[in-house]
Amino acid sequence: MSNAKKLGFWMCLSLVIGNTIGMAIFMLPVAMAPLGPNAIWGWLIAVTGFLFIATVFAFMARQMPKAHGPYGYIRENIGNLPAFAAMWCYWVSSWVTLPALAIAVVAYMQSTFPDLPLPNSAISAIALIWLFVGINSRGAVAGGTAQVLATLLKLIPLMAVIGVGLWVMVTQPELKAVSLAPSPVNFENLMAATALGVFAMLGIESACIPAENVDRPEITIPRATYAGTLIVAVIYLSVTAVMLYLIPYAQLAGSQAPFVDMLKGYLGDGVGQWMGVFVVISGLGALNGWTLLVGQMTRTMALNDTMPRGLSGLNAAGAPIRALLLSGVLGTLLAIMSYSDSLADGYIFLSLVVTAANLPVYILTAIALLRMPDRSRIANYTLYACIALLAVIFVIMSFFGIGMKPLLWSLVLALLGLPVYWYVQKQAKKQPAIS
C-alpha cells in the first residue's frame, strides 16, 4: 500500500479521540453526580492509569512497528495463545461496540427529534451499522477521512460546555460547587468513580490496531496515542468539573440529557437542541471508527492464523471486505438480541461487556513490554518497565472496580474463543503460510 493510501497522523489522532470520546461522556455526569468529590478524584485516577497504558502502547509501537499492533506485541513476547485470548476478547468487544453505539445514537435521535419518522429502534440501529460497513468498505483512507470530520464536529459541543462553564464561573462566582453530593471520599466510592472513567477511556489504543495501514507507524502511532490521550483527558476532566459545578447534584442525577439541559438553562432551548445534534454526530463518529478498527483487526488475526484465512481478503479498494461483512452480521444479531423497550438498559448491558473484554489487551500488552528480549539494548527500558508495572496494577484495580460480573464475562469470552483457536491452528498446519 502506497503512503498516499495510508493513515497519517491526523487520521490516527482522530481515531484515538473519536473512538475514546463516544457516547459515554454525554451521560457519565449523571452516573457520577451521586459520588460527589469522588467523581473528580476517580477521573484523575482513571486518566493517570490510561496515561500509563498509552505510554506502554506508544513504546511498543516504536520498538515493534511491523508487529501488527497489540496482537504482535503479545504474541512475540508472551506467546500465541495469550495473544489470541487477548485479541479474541478485544475483537468481541469491538463488534459488540457497534450495536451499543448504534442503539445509543438512535436513543439520542429519538430524544432530540421526537417528530422524526424513524422506523423501529432495532431496525434504525441495524441500518446505522451497515451504513458504516459500507463507508469503510471503500478503504481505510475513506473511513479515516470520515473519522477526521466527525471528530472535529464532536469537539464543538464539548468546547461549548467548557466555554459556558468558564464564562459562568467568571461572571457568577457565587455559583461555586456547593451543590456536590455529600458523598464521603473513601475507597469504595473512588473505585466506583474510577470504573466509570475506565469505560469512558476505552479506545486510546486505537492508533495501534490498523498498524499495517499507518504511514511510518514507529513515529505516527506514538505521537497520535500520546496526543489523543492527553486531549481526551483534558476534555473529560474539564467537562466533568463544569457539569458538577453548574448543575445541582439532585437535578443532574435525574437528567436524561445533561448536556442539553445545561445549555438550555444558560443559553436557551434552541442551543440545547443543537447539542443533541452534536451528540448524535459524536456517536456516529465513534461508530465509524470502531467499524474501521474491527475490520482491520479481523484481517490481522486471519493473517496470523488465529481466524479463518478467508477473512483476510481485500476488495479492490484495499478494504478487508469479508471481515467488515462478518462484523456487520454479528453486530446485527446482537442488536436484535439486546433490543428491549429500554434502549438505556440495552446500552448499559453492552457497555459492561465491552469494558470487561478490553482490559485483557491492556494488561497483556504491559506484560509483553516487561518480557521483551534484549532489554539491555533498549534506551530507558527500566523507566518504561516501571510504567508498565504501574499499568498492570491499574488494570487489576479496574477489574475490582467494575466488579466480579465483568471479570467473569472476560473469562467466558476468552474460553469461548478456544475452540476457534484450536480449529484454526489445526487448519493452518495443513496449509502453506500466507505470503
CB distance 159 to 275 below 8 Å: no
The two most distant CA atoms of the chain are separated, in Å, by: 74
* Each residue's pLDDT expressed in tens, for the chain with a length of 435 residues: 445 567 788 888 888 888 888 777 776 777 777 777 788 888 889 999 999 999 999 999 999 988 878 888 999 999 988 988 888 888 888 877 788 788 778 877 776 777 766 666 778 888 999 999 998 888 777 777 777 887 888 787 788 788 887 887 777 766 554 556 667 778 878 887 888 788 888 888 888 877 777 888 889 989 999 999 999 988 888 887 787 777 777 777 666 667 777 777 767 666 666 777 777 888 888 888 888 888 888 888 888 888 888 888 888 888 889 999 998 898 888 777 755 544 445 555 556 667 778 888 999 999 999 999 888 788 889 999 999 999 999 998 888 777 677 667 767 777 888 888 888 888 777 766 554
CA-CA-CA-CA torsion sign (191, 31, 17, 264) = negative
Q: Are the C-beta atoms of residues 146 and 14 closer than 8 Å to each other? A: no
pLDDT, residue 275, reads 72
Distances (CA, A) of 387 to 58, 154, 257, 360, 376: 12, 31, 37, 17, 17
3-state secondary structure 384-425: HHHHHHHHHHHHHHHHHHHCHHHHHHHHHHHHHHHHHHHHHH
Cβ within 8 Å of residue 278, ≥6 positions away: 153, 154, 156, 157
- The pLDDT score that the predictor gives to residue 1 is 47
Count of CB atoms within 10 A of residue 266's CB?
16
The C-alpha cell of 166 is what? 468558564
Domain 3-425: top CATH class: mainly alpha
Q: How far is CA 173 from CA 38, 96, 167, 266, in A?
A: 23, 44, 10, 15
CA distance 299 to 312: 4
For residue 423, count other CB atoms closer than 10 A to its CB.
11
* Angstrom distance (rounded) from CA 296 to CA 301: 9
pLDDT of residue 5: 65
Q: Exposure string (b/e) for 148-172, b if CB count within 10 Å is 16 or more?
A: bebbebbbebbebbbebbeebbeee
pLDDT value for 325: 92
Tell me the residue length of the chain: 435
- The three-class DSSP label of residue 214 is strand
Q: Residue 382: in which H helix or E strand, if any? A: helix 381-402
